[in-house]
Amino acid sequence: MHFDDLYSEYIGATHDRQSSTENPAKILICTTPRTAGHSYCQILRQFGLGIPTEYFQWQYALPLMRRWSADDTLDLEKLNQQAPAYGRHLLARRTENGVFAAKIFFENLPFARSSIGDDDGNSFYVFLSRRNKVDQTISLLSMLHTGQPFDSQETLPGIPTVSILTERVVRDTAQYIFDSEIRWKNYLNTVDRRRVAQVCYEDFIANQQESASATMSDWFPGLELKSKAISTSARYAHDVEFKTMIKRQFGDYVRRFWQDHT
């Protein structure tokens, strides 16, 4: 299924539930761009752990809250004001098997906290990070240029795009990844380590179900995880030629950046 179909399903009523769980477990998939957060969401769905997607991005939150509140005039300012109500809708309508799950970027954390509340003993965090920061940076640069985050021609509304790649753009992109990781690490250092799993992108992609299963079994030992097979995905493979061009032009510059920041 293409991303535009998935997006339509997630903001539509297809995945709405009527959960009676008073205090669901909350799994936050903490990411920086191009670390397979979307794939991790798919695995959790296979396991029956919530209905995860990017609920705290306005591209999802705004249409969902407009529908749930029956208010088509709702804008971003009102959405922020109604964050607690949005959170109540989320936990009631997107909890499955006693679990609510979402993928989140650090800049969305304040809205998430306003929506579903602060950290508690029933909150769990998967921190996705990539060893190969050069490839991550180049992959993000490609997405920013094409506006296409996935292996298809679909674009996602609200993704900032750049028409011309320059050294300034390259540096700002790498700096964003660096700063986001530091902020996530600083935040997660305040959380009980038993509720935080640090997952390397390269290890996860090599064996997605086994990697996620090991983490989830530790957190939810009493829950029988489904073992339904999933189709393999050529993640981030749609723009290989363009990424090769970026690496040829800016690869040395990107490598120097990360050498200076490790």
What are the residue ranges spanned by the domains of the chain?
A: 3-260
Compute the average pLDDT of residues 101-105.
98
Compute the average pLDDT of residues 193-212.
96
Percent of residues, the chain, with pLDDT higher than 90? 78
Give me the phi and psi of 154, to 5 degrees please. Answer: -75, 145
Tell me the pairing of strands 99-105 and 123-129.
unpaired
User: CB under 8 Å to 5, separation ≥6 — which residues?
Assistant: none
Residue 29 has pLDDT above 90, yes or no: yes
Instruction: Give the whole-angstrom CA distance, residue 108 versus residue 104.
Output: 6
Q: What DSSP string describes 97-119?
A: TTEEEEEEEGGGHHHHHHHH-S-
pLDDT band at 262 (very low <50, low <70, confident <90, very high): confident
Q: What token pair was written down for 182? A: 């530091």
Q: What token pair was written down for 39? A: 């794939």
Give me the sign of the Cα torsion angle 65, 77, 110, 172.
Answer: positive
Question: Which is more confident, 132 or 6?
Answer: 132
Instruction: Give the whole-angstrom CA distance, residue 78 versus residue 59.
Output: 14
The region of weakest confidence among 49-58, 77-86, 147-156, 222-231 is: 147-156
Question: Which is more confident, 111 or 241?
Answer: 111
Compute the average pLDDT of residues 137-154.
77
Average pLDDT over the chain reads 90
pLDDT of residue 230: 46
Residue 209 has pLDDT above 70, yes or no: yes
Q: How far is CA 25 from CA 29, 130, 209, in A?
A: 13, 26, 20
Tokens 């990844």 correspond to what residue? Answer: 177
Q: How far is CA 13 from CA 2, 93, 138, 183, 210, in A?
A: 18, 9, 36, 34, 31
CATH assignment of 3-260?
3.40.50.300
Helices (H), the chain: 3-11, 37-47, 58-69, 76-81, 83-93, 109-116, 133-146, 167-188, 201-206, 208-219, 240-260
* Other Cβ atoms within 10 Å of 64 Cβ, number: 22
pLDDT of residue 241: 86
User: CB under 8 Å to 164, separation ≥6 — which residues?
Assistant: none
Instruction: Give the whole-angstrom CA distance, residue 240 versus residue 1.
Output: 21
pLDDT band at 14 (very low <50, low <70, confident <90, very high): very high
- The 3-class SS string of 140-161 reads HHHHHHHCCCCCCCCCCCCCCC
Q: What is the pTM of this model?
A: 0.91
Q: Which of 135, 140, 113 lies closest to 30 in space, CA to CA?
A: 113
pLDDT of residue 132: 97
